[in-house]
Amino acid sequence: MVKLLTILLVVSLASRLLLGRWPWQMVGIGTGLGAEERRARALLGVGKAATHSEIIDAHRRLIARVHPDKGGTNDQVHEANAARDLLLAQLLPPR
Domain residue limits at 90: 32-95
41 plus 20 within the same structural domain: no
92 shares a domain with 57: yes
Based on the domain organization, do 44 and 23 belong to the same domain? no
What pLDDT is recorded for position 80?
96
What pLDDT band is residue 22 in, cutting at 50, 70 and 90? Answer: confident
Q: 17 and 37 share a domain?
A: no
Residues 11, 40: one domain? no
Instruction: Say whether both 14 and 55 belong to one domain.
Output: no
Total domains in the fold of the chain: 2
Percent of the chain at pLDDT above 70? Answer: 89
Question: Where does the pLDDT of residue 45 fall: very low under 50, low under 70, confident under 90, or very high at 90 and above?
Answer: very high
3-state secondary structure 45-71: CCCCCCCHHHHHHHHHHHHHHHCHHHC
